[in-house]
Structure 1
Amino acid sequence: MATITALRSIRINERPNLIWVEIETDEGLVGLGESFRGAQAVEAVLHEQVAPWLLGRDARHIEAVSQQLMNPYLGFHSASAEVRAASAVDIALWDLAGQRQGVPVYIAMGGGVRDRIRAYNTCAGYSYNTAGTVRRSTDGSEAPKGPYDDQIAFMRDAGELAHSLLDEGYTAMKIWPFDGYAAATGGHLIGPEDLRRGLEPFRKIRDAVGDRIDVMCELHSMWTAGAAARICRGLEEYGVFWAEDPIAKMDDVQALADLRRQTRVPVCGSETLAGLVPFRDLLARDAVDVVMLDLAWCGGLTEGRKIAALAQAYARPLAPHDCTGPVTLIAGLHLAMHAPTAIFQEVVRATLSTWYRDLVTELPAVELGMVLAPTAPGLGTRLHPDVARRADAVVRTSKR
């Protein structure tokens, strides 16, 4: 037995979307998990619904725990508070499994198919996505907060930003210059002038560096199908690697399949979905070219590797998401080492170089645009002890 004796949640007011889970066992081990968005709601689910069932159970039976937590009476097949809580617990249980065996998580999952993977830099800023709203400036007028305030940079001079990334070894980047134009029509229409402005950063990148860098376009599920199709057709000229989450509801399989037939730009989706069924439906209807998943939202590594197996069965590439927290990044990297069709690990150099370092003891190494496999047992990182002792920390523990 590896009996679960305590479940602890930790969140801090400075990063109100983030919540961490620590699971203790009678072996003296502590597993770390994480989720993002609605941290207070996730905290309530963890202690009021999950802990009473989980405490006293065997931490080794990860599949059984996943089956229970991923099938709530309400909230399944979406990244609900229930599923986000289940995701954090699952990541922590896999961390425990790796520690128990003395190997990295991806080895505990059955081993890897690579020892490094290509990174793409999501061109966000230092505080992007921190407090529940995504900063969507479209004019680049804000003052940069540092050398890696890349969201401002891609609106000011995307070509110069591309040079900066290439200088550091990155050969892929993701930008979202269309977001600011959606509000005017509720995402139902994009006019010719807004379309031209949204395409301008892609033109600047190609003029500056040619095809030396791959460029992804994030659309943040802000558009209806007709507007998304117009944007995607405009992107075709610039050889965009994918258009990500192009429509408002990424479980609308019919709309996505129709969109995919109208454009040569590959469609990527979706970090917003959870569990096997939505991904099965997307793949069965030939609605996506690239499978993206977020392990803190989709059900953790247990569900994540099943989604990865679906992607493999349909010969679709896989790209783990991270624009949220350091533990999710590391968990995604373990899946990327393990999953045969994984092609990228998303990173944000602004956060990697700053506040991610303040939260965990170890972060992935990025060398010449490649993210290296973790080598330490388990996830290979711990929450900094100082995090739980901060004045703005909210720590809650449920014990057996």
Structure 2
Amino acid sequence: MPKIEKLCTIRIAERPNLLWVEVTTDEGLTGLGEAFRGAQAVEAVIHEQVAPALLGRDARNIEGISRQLLTPYVGFGSSSAEIRAASAVDIALWDLAGQRHGIPVHEALGGLSREKIRAYNTCAGYDYNSRQAGSIAGRRDIGSGDVARGPYDDQIAFTRDAGALAQSLLEEGYAAMKIWPLDPYAAATQGQSISLEDLKRGLEPFEKIRAAVGDRIEVMAELHSLWSLPAAMRICRALEPYGIYWAEDPLNKMDDVASLAELRRGARVPICASETLGGKVAFRDLLVAGATDIVMLDLTWCGGLTEARKIAALAEAWARPVAPHDCTGPVTLVASLHLALHASTAVFQEVVRATLATWYRDLVTVLPKVERGFISAMEGTGLGTALLPQVAKRADAMVRESRQGA
């Protein structure tokens, strides 16, 4: 019986929203997981709540461990610190399972539904959401900045010349992109309304994309949970002429299934929901209410791979496509790719070409490769990647361990 003997968490000051979790067993294997946002809170949950329940347990019993960690007395009904901690540990346990049997995680999940999957580029910059710790007051990095730091500073690019950005993505083989030019106009009214003048300014990047490349690229509109129902309705109706692939997280409460269903009935753009939700019940409620067209989940916020494949099964039962989220960290991307290649209704895997080309490479041993707009399966056992040893040795690294018997 492979017993869990150590939990180790690693944070670095340079990327304060990220936390890595390493789960080590007495068979000499170490599995890797990741958490994003509120890293210090998740770290505390792992060492103060998860470790006492996990140390000494059989690492093979992923389902039982998942159920225990996803049903804390409080915090179970959202993507709370408890659920984010459970998600990170769950990903590490699947990594261990694959390593133990000498197979990749997607095979451990039940095998591939496809050899490769389309990628879309989220047009963020090099440090989007990663340099500053998340806070209640500043939930989202929605500013565009002023100075481009390189050829992939795509958030600046879509505010300046979205048409040229679309052309550059097509040249690299990307057939889909996601932008959020309406975000800056939410602050004036706390998202309760949007003026016609601001709406027209926010639509300009969509106009430039269609003028530059026509219908050769799919465009997703990210709305970042910033808007009331009337404002979101106005925005979504205004987006209809541009043939967007989806409007993502339009409402400021994405668990408000009644309002989301009303929006979906009243606007003729597909609704995508929601990376912010935790647990299969929240997604079941969305589907039962007819509140979403595309199911987006984040493996580090919804409960890990164990819960994510159940959410994907629900999406399949409702004939809805799945699109795993990644605008977080490299381990999340790798784990999401395993799910996206396994889940039968997955249609896209999100990537950020700026981070793939830069700091993701400084953290893990192997990254997925995007070739002509598609990502293929990872090779190797488990996740197929590991945290580089030098990360824990950095001067700004904060390492904490919990051991059996300590």
Fold shared per TM-score above 0.5: yes
Equivalent residue, structure 1, for 2:309 = 305
**Partner amino acid, structure 2, of 1:70:** L
Q: Distance in 2 between matches of 1:141 and 1:36?
A: 22
Equivalent residue, structure 2, for 1:175 = 179
Asked if 1:208 corresponds to 2:208, the answer is: no
Q: Distance in 2 between matches of 1:283 and 1:358?
A: 39
Asked if 1:146 corresponds to 2:139, the answer is: no
Match of 1:374 among 371, 375, 378: 378
Equivalent residue, structure 1, for 2:62 = 62
Asked if 1:186 corresponds to 2:190, the answer is: yes
What SS does structure 2 have at the residue aligned with 1:310? Answer: helix
Residues 324-355 of structure 1 deviation map (CA, whole Å, 9 limit, x = unaligned) = 00000001000001100000000000000000
What SS does structure 1 have at the residue aligned with 2:402? Answer: strand
What SS does structure 2 have at the residue aligned with 1:390? Answer: coil
Q: Distance in 1 between matches of 2:36 and 2:73?
A: 22
Q: Distance in 1 between matches of 2:142 and 2:33?
A: 29
**Partner amino acid, structure 2, of 1:185:** T
| Cα displacement (A) at 1:175 | 0.1
5 Å-filtered alignment, 1:63-142, equals 63-130=63-130, 131=132, 132=134, 133=138, 134-137=140-143, 142=146
Q: Distance in 2 between matches of 1:101 and 1:337?
A: 19
Match of 2:264 among 238, 250, 260: 260
Q: Distance in 1 between matches of 2:317 and 2:47?
A: 37
Match of 2:255 among 251, 255, 264: 251
Q: Distance in 2 between matches of 1:254 and 1:111?
A: 36
| Cα displacement (A) at 1:97 | 0.4
Q: Distance in 2 between matches of 1:278 and 1:41?
A: 23
Q: Distance in 2 between matches of 1:370 and 1:63?
A: 31
| Cα displacement (A) at 1:82 | 0.3
Q: Distance in 2 between matches of 1:193 and 1:11?
A: 43
Equivalent residue, structure 2, for 1:365 = 369
**Partner amino acid, structure 2, of 1:346:** E
How many aligned positions are there? 398
Equivalent residue, structure 2, for 1:280 = 284
Q: Distance in 1 between matches of 2:145 and 2:210?
A: 23
Equivalent residue, structure 1, for 2:237 = 233
What SS does structure 2 have at the residue aligned with 1:237? Answer: helix
**Partner amino acid, structure 2, of 1:27:** E
| Cα displacement (A) at 1:358 | 0.3
Q: Distance in 1 between matches of 2:256 and 2:264?
A: 12
Q: Distance in 2 between matches of 1:32 and 1:98?
A: 11
Q: Distance in 1 between matches of 2:379 and 2:41?
A: 34
Q: Distance in 1 between matches of 2:382 and 2:102?
A: 7
**Partner amino acid, structure 1, of 2:263:** L
**Partner amino acid, structure 1, of 2:93:** L
Residues 350-383 of structure 1 deviation map (CA, whole Å, 9 limit, x = unaligned) = 0000000000000001110001111210000000
Listed as ranges, the gaps of 5+ residues in structure 2 are none
Q: Distance in 2 between matches of 1:2 and 1:115?
A: 32
Equivalent residue, structure 2, for 1:341 = 345
Deviates more, 1:128-137 or 1:310-319: 128-137
Q: Distance in 2 between matches of 1:2 and 1:105?
A: 18
Q: Distance in 2 between matches of 1:141 and 1:387?
A: 28
**Partner amino acid, structure 1, of 2:250:** P
What SS does structure 2 have at the residue aligned with 1:111? Answer: coil
Equivalent residue, structure 1, for 2:354 = 350
Cα RMSD after superposing both structures: 0.7
Equivalent residue, structure 1, for 2:6 = 6
Equivalent residue, structure 1, for 2:328 = 324
Q: Distance in 1 between matches of 2:126 and 2:278?
A: 27
| Cα displacement (A) at 1:159 | 0.2
Q: Distance in 1 between matches of 2:2 and 2:295?
A: 34
| Cα displacement (A) at 1:264 | 0.7
Equivalent residue, structure 1, for 2:26 = 26
Q: Distance in 2 between matches of 1:310 and 1:2?
A: 32
Residues 233-274 of structure 1 deviation map (CA, whole Å, 9 limit, x = unaligned) = 010000000000000010000000000011110000000001
What SS does structure 2 have at the residue aligned with 1:47? Answer: helix
What SS does structure 1 have at the residue aligned with 2:296? Answer: strand
**Partner amino acid, structure 1, of 2:208:** K
Q: Distance in 1 between matches of 2:317 and 2:243?
A: 27
Q: Distance in 2 between matches of 1:245 and 1:179?
A: 12
Q: Distance in 1 between matches of 2:38 and 2:323?
A: 24
What SS does structure 2 have at the residue aligned with 1:173? Answer: strand
| Cα displacement (A) at 1:141 | 6.3
Describe the shift of the 1:250–1:213 C-alpha distance in structure 2 as closer, same or farther (beyond 3 A).
same
| Cα displacement (A) at 1:136 | 2.1
What SS does structure 1 have at the residue aligned with 2:232? Answer: helix
Deviation >3 Å, runs of 4+: none
| Cα displacement (A) at 1:77 | 2.1
